[in-house]
Amino acid sequence: MTDKLRIALAQLNPVVGDIAGNLQKAVEARRAASVAGAELIVFTELFLTGYPPEDLVLKPAFQRVAKAAVEDLARQTADGGPAVLIGAPWAEEGKLYNAVLHLDRGEIKGRRYKVHLPNYSVFDEPRVFASGPMPGPFSIRGVRIGAPICEDIWYPDVVECLEESGAELLLVPNGSPYEFNKPDARLQLALSRIRESGLPLAYVNQLGGQDELVFDGGSFVLNADFSLALQMPAWEEKITCTDWTRGEKGWVCAPGEKALVEEGDESLYLAVVQGLRDYVKKNRFPGVVLGLSGGIDSALVAAIAVDALGADKVHCVMLPYRYTSSESLTDAEACAKLLGVRYDVVPIEEPVAGFTSALEKMFEGTQSGVTEENLQSRTRGVVLMAISNKFGSMLLTTGNKSEVSAGYATIYGDMNGGFNPIKDLYKSRVFKLSNWRNTHMPKGCLGPEGRVIPERIITRPPSAELRPDQKDEDSLPPYEVMDDILHCLIEEEMSVTDIVARGHDRDLVKRIEHLLYISEYKRRQAAPGVKVTKRNFGRDRRYPIVNGFRDQDL
């Protein structure tokens, strides 16, 4: 039995499927922990495969490679250095488990399996994993350590079982995605488990972007007296050593770093930057290209891209037509200069005329309208995709959640692209983040300090500029009104009656509901984007395309 233990918490950024790379990252982290005198290092949920692996984990070859990586890492612990707690899938008796494994002295000393498999929101783990039995603690270097996996602390039973079977402290490996204001929810959850069990708890969370999900880290340690012993930073890879001492009342973690965890608009901005950065880098794109229209959405996306990747990896293109205003031309160029990016102008008058000419006979006698407007957007999409194909840069799409919700976007036009950093941000939030970025320099970002979006881009009334003097509010209600209605319909699933009770016009609510439902087919074909709200399109909200239901407001 020992009365002191140094535990390293590894808050790192794995890549789903890159088992060899994740193994190497674990080896290097363990080496650093050993140099720092740690006796145990704890990694996050399914670290060796990356999280979430989705159906990839069902592939037998993938399972074999993951198991071999665990065995390789176990052999390396024969050097007498730190023991390891690491997440990996584990197959046993025809079942596949989400496991945490104890590696030490050259062996796999023990395995524990996740009991509660989440099957809501972005999670569908019962699809790929079997639920494990109630776990007991590991015996690690003379200490009985419970390791409930992520969702297992959202319910009291697993921690209760660990406490009753002799656990002395809890180390919790997590793959908990970012969501606006979620850090406080995690803290309150951990406090509930401590209150019930009387055990101190270390919460170790993954960092990094994985497709639409982004993980913020923000790992922390709470003592049994509810005091915060350690707060690791969000949005940073880090290995932190914690010093534990056994006293009369159990194990206590010595006070350590108390990093400030970003909140509000700052956390949202860092989330979309992290999500874009990892999507581009993990998919090995050399950079990105986007259409810079002189409007606020593309300006914010350009700023996010520069902050994520650096100005040298961002290419902005203005694609003017006869309805493009002089203000848009001036503002787009000014924005590109502020950001320091490559900026090109490719007029689309000739290609649009070519399409119009080709269709002239077929369209003869019809009224000019949305079809002709969409030709402009689709021409821009073709040009931008050609640039992407030619130079290898990924095309970013720039539609906000308000537009994506209402279908105020052209499929195969401005919806073209491989990723959308602002897909889960309502238009009103786009304005807030643009103002925020102009007055703040986010940590870890690569863009310039000071103003990055010209003031006129923020203050001018939004317009698609597909016809003379067009304004968004010609087709849509004011964004602050529309966004509240959409939030009620999407995030809260409120009835029309309840939304009207908030002060909204009933006919407008019904109209927005109708637009939301009939645009589902567009969203199915939209680029992925960073999830930051509690209900994004895609992983969270899975509505049918063929849908005859409408709220009857009874």
In order of their start, the domains of the chain are 4-260 (3.60.110.10), 265-524 (3.40.50.620)
Helix count and strand count (H, E) for the chain:
16, 19
- Indicate if the pLDDT at residue 324 is higher than 90: no
Average of per-residue pLDDT across 425-453? 96
Other Cβ atoms closer than 10 A to 10: 28
| pLDDT of res. 472 | 64
Give Cβ neighbours of residue 58 (< 8 Å, ≥ 6 apart).
Answer: 96, 128
- Determine which one of 25, 39, 114, 151 is catalytic: 114
Pairing verdict, β 220-222 and 201-205: antiparallel
Pairing verdict, β 207-210 and 201-205: unpaired
Give me 47's structure tokens: 């670290």
- Indicate if the pLDDT at residue 465 is higher than 70: no
Average of per-residue pLDDT across 91-115? 96
Which residue is it, tokens 């390891």? 84
- Indicate if the pLDDT at residue 502 is higher than 80: yes
437: β partners:
none
Average of per-residue pLDDT across 260-280? 96
Band of residue 121 on the pLDDT scale cut at 50, 70, 90: confident
Band of residue 178 on the pLDDT scale cut at 50, 70, 90: very high
Band of residue 288 on the pLDDT scale cut at 50, 70, 90: very high
Average of per-residue pLDDT across 86-107? 96
210 touches 52 (CB < 8 A) = yes
Amino acid at 389: N
Q: Verify whether residue 236 is a known catalytic residue.
A: no
Band of residue 176 on the pLDDT scale cut at 50, 70, 90: very high
| pLDDT of res. 467 | 67
Binding residue positions for deamido-NAD(+):
374, 403, 522
Binding residue positions:
120, 176, 182, 291-298, 374, 398, 403, 522
Average of per-residue pLDDT across 61-83? 97
Binding residue positions for ATP:
291-298, 398
pLDDT (tens digit, 9 = 90+) per residue, 327-376?
999 999 999 999 999 999 999 999 999 999 999 999 999 998 889 999 99
Q: Is 456 strand, coil or helix? A: helix
Band of residue 468 on the pLDDT scale cut at 50, 70, 90: confident
Give Cβ neighbours of residue 387 (< 8 Å, ≥ 6 apart).
Answer: 289, 315, 317, 393, 395
Average of per-residue pLDDT across 446-475? 82
Q: 546 — phi, psi (to 5°)? A: -80, 110
Tell me the C-alpha distance between 302 and 200, whole Å.
44
| pLDDT of res. 461 | 81
| pLDDT of res. 323 | 87
Tell me the C-alpha distance between 119 and 124, whole Å.
4
Give me 226's structure tokens: 């509810």
Tell me the helix, strand and coil percentages in the chain, rounded to 5: 40, 20, 40
Give Cβ neighbours of residue 276 (< 8 Å, ≥ 6 apart).
Answer: 209, 288, 304, 305, 308, 309, 396, 419, 421, 530
pLDDT (tens digit, 9 = 90+) per residue, 6-50?
999 999 999 999 999 999 999 999 999 999 999 999 999 999 999
CA dist 339 → 188, 431, 445 (Å):
40, 18, 12
- Determine which one of 45, 212, 373, 465 is catalytic: 45
pLDDT, averaged across the chain:
94
Average of per-residue pLDDT across 177-200? 93
Query: Could you tell me where the DSSP H helices lie in 425-519?
Result: 427-439, 455-459, 479-490, 496-500, 506-518
- Determine which one of 25, 39, 125, 150 is catalytic: 150
CA dist 287 → 18, 278, 400, 444, 517 (Å):
21, 12, 21, 18, 35
The answer to whether the bond into 468 is cis (omega within 30° of 0) is no
Average of per-residue pLDDT across 73-86? 97
Other Cβ atoms closer than 10 A to 248: 4
Q: Verify whether residue 427 is a known catalytic residue.
A: no
Q: Verify whether residue 114 is a known catalytic residue.
A: yes
Binding residue positions for L-glutamine:
120, 176, 182
pLDDT (tens digit, 9 = 90+) per residue, 387-425?
999 999 999 999 999 999 999 899 999 999 999 999 999
Amino acid at 390: K
Long-range Cβ pairs for the range 544-552 (8 Å, 24+): 544/520, 545/520, 545/521, 547/517, 547/520, 549/517, 550/510, 550/513, 550/514, 550/517, 551/495, 551/496, 551/510, 551/513
pLDDT (tens digit, 9 = 90+) per residue, 514-533?
999 999 999 999 999 999 99
517 touches 405 (CB < 8 A) = no
| pLDDT of res. 553 | 65
Tell me the C-alpha distance between 87 and 257, whole Å.
25
Tell me the C-alpha distance between 455 and 159, whole Å.
53
- Indicate if the pLDDT at residue 255 is higher than 70: yes
Q: Is 458 strand, coil or helix? A: helix
| pLDDT of res. 477 | 86
Helix axis angle for 264-282 and 296-309, nearest 10°, is: 70
Highest mean pLDDT among 1-5, 277-281, 456-460, 475-479: 277-281
231: β partners:
220, 258
Q: How far is Cα of residue 35 from the mean position of the Cα atoms in its chain?
A: 33
pLDDT (tens digit, 9 = 90+) per residue, 544-554?
888 888 887 65
Amino acid at 365: G
Band of residue 494 on the pLDDT scale cut at 50, 70, 90: very high
